Structure formats: C-alpha cells, structure tokens
C-alpha cells in the first residue's frame, strides 16, 4: 500500500459532515412522532448521504468523479438544511436547535465548496 494514502476520515469536510449527521440523528428525537415517515425519514437519508458521498468520491481517486460525488453531497446537504428550516418554521422543534444545525450545514458547505 502507498504510504501517502490518507483515509477519507482525515478529510475536514467528511469529519464535519459526519458530525452533522450524528447531531441530526439526535435532533430527530425531538420531532413529533407523526413525522416518522415524512421529515424524520427524509432527514435520516439526506444527512447520512452527505458524509457517504464525500467518502465515496474520495475513494474514486479520479478528480472528476470526486467532484461529482461532492456535488451529490452538496445536494443532500441542501436538502437537509431545507428540512431543518421547515421543522423550525413549522415549530416542530426548538428554534435554537434548528438554527444550530443550520449553522453546521453552512460550515459543511464551506468545506465541500
């Protein structure tokens, strides 16, 4: 194995996206149970997709493929942010908690871009 090989877990973008996913899963517990098959399901999928796409793109070793997966990660990030804003605006969760996660989304976006 090449000694220069770095794990995707060393990427700042992956680390921030992974933490956002973990925090989103904790946040989901505060949502109303009737959202289980709507917002909760969507948040689980979209937030999990962000670090997964960063990792997959990194593993491709081809610059253009990596960019394509970063674009997919950015799309999932935007979807996650949208669901968080909706939960906040519909008063389904504490505003402060939603705003904190939205701020994390913005930080992840900066690193992906």
Mean pLDDT over the full length of the chain: 93
Neighbouring residues of 52: CB distance < 8 A, sequence distance ≥ 6: none
| Structure token pair of residue 52 | 């997964």
Q: What pLDDT sits at residue 4?
A: 52
pLDDT in tens, 22-37: 999 999 999 998 988 8
pTM above 0.85, yes or no: yes
Give residue limits of the domains in the chain: 33-112
Tally Cβ neighbours within 10 Å of residue 62.
Answer: 9
């Amino acid at each position: 194995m090449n000694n220069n090989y770095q794990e995707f877990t060393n990427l700042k973008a992956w680390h921030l996206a992974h933490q956002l996913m973990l925090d989103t899963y904790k946040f989901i517990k505060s949502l109303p149970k009737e959202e289980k098959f709507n917002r909760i399901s969507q948040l689980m999928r979209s937030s999990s997709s962000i670090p997964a796409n960063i990792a997959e793109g990194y593993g491709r070793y081809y610059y253009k493929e990596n960019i394509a997966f970063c674009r997919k990660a950015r799309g999932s990030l935007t979807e996650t942010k949208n669901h968080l804003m909706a939960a906040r605006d519909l008063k389904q969760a504490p505003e402060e908690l939603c705003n904190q996660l939205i701020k994390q989304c913005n930080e992840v976006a900066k690193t992906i871009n």
